[in-house]
Structure 1
Amino acid sequence: MFGELESNFFLLVKLNKDKAFNLVFDAYWNTLYKQACKKVHCNEIAQDLVQDVFVSLWDKIEFLDAEGSVLAYLFAILRNKILKLYEKDEVRLRYAVSVASVTAPSDLYSQNSMLEKELKTIIDTEIERMPLRMKEIYLLKKEDDLSIRQIAEDLSLSEQTVKNQLQMAYQRLRTRVKDYDSSLIMLALLISKHL
């Protein structure tokens, strides 16, 4: 399918640039968008990147090599745009580290304390969001340090039910901490290396 599309594309470019562009746009937009999403993990940024790819295609459409693959060309442009995005992010991060190292508290204890408070707030918020029974079991295990057997007896539940609830609670907390924007953590680690 793609081979026929690409040969039609190169013929069509000479006859009608707009139609050729629309043909490729319709055929490859989703493929490029999915690839961009995998790399940048943000739908809006992925859309912007793919849009930029097609702007580049439009600008150079008459100069493409008819022996080459349009899709390979588009993927190459996308890869370069993603790399440039990563480079910009690295520059921003270096700037943030340099600013933070000047203005941040100079002792590591203060930084760790701020980070611990932030993470504790995230975890406490997620515990509050848990279903009532899950929260109760989690708190009995973590705060009262009860065994699974003791919790099961106290709540008249099977041990397996307690294990399942704890496993789901731990999974929620892991997911929440992982999904949390880790830039603060990364920044704190980088700052501590530079002090």
Structure 2
Amino acid sequence: MPKILQDDEKELLLQLRSGDQKAFNVLYQAYERKVYYHLKKLVHLPEIAAELHQDVFLKVWNKREYLDPERSFEGFLVHITKNCAIDFYRKAARDKQLTDQLALQMTELHDPITDSIALKETNHALEKAISKLPQQRGLVFRRIKMEHESYENAAWHFGVSVGTIKDHMAKALQFVRTEVINSKRFFLSVFMMSSLVEMLRRLFL
């Protein structure tokens, strides 16, 4: 739809503020593509962008009495769009399925710097998890998993049975796996929020 002239937009905003559905429809058609484009850049997932797109315009309608015809309607839209995107990322940080979706999408859009940061974070999480193990269990884990020693040699080295080594490893693996996964989810949540802030800065500020 052609760009609305400034004076026409002021009149439409006055009408919208009074609850005029036709004025809302005209403004929606003028800006809906731009809003969707910004949202898609922010959240990466087209289906999420489509949902948030509807939320943005629903909020415009619900907040219509706060519209100031003397101020930019596009600026008003930008403010609501930013808030919807931020709310989405906060929700994603608490939703495992949504976090996994974003993780997959970010993997497809990966870059070397992001990969390097993620690898460092994983190594840090692994070391932190190992440090929480009981002393001997941590030593057994390092010897077998990181130094690639056999169970038999580890049993001889520590002066215990192979069964004891296997028990140490089973418990260590379960603990370390849980710790690393939880740490990576936290890192992804922080990374998503920092990425959002950077995208908002580039797109809107």
- TM-score normalized by the length of structure 1: 0.47
- TM-score normalized by the length of structure 2: 0.45
* Higher RCO (C-alpha under 8 Å, 6+ residues apart): 2
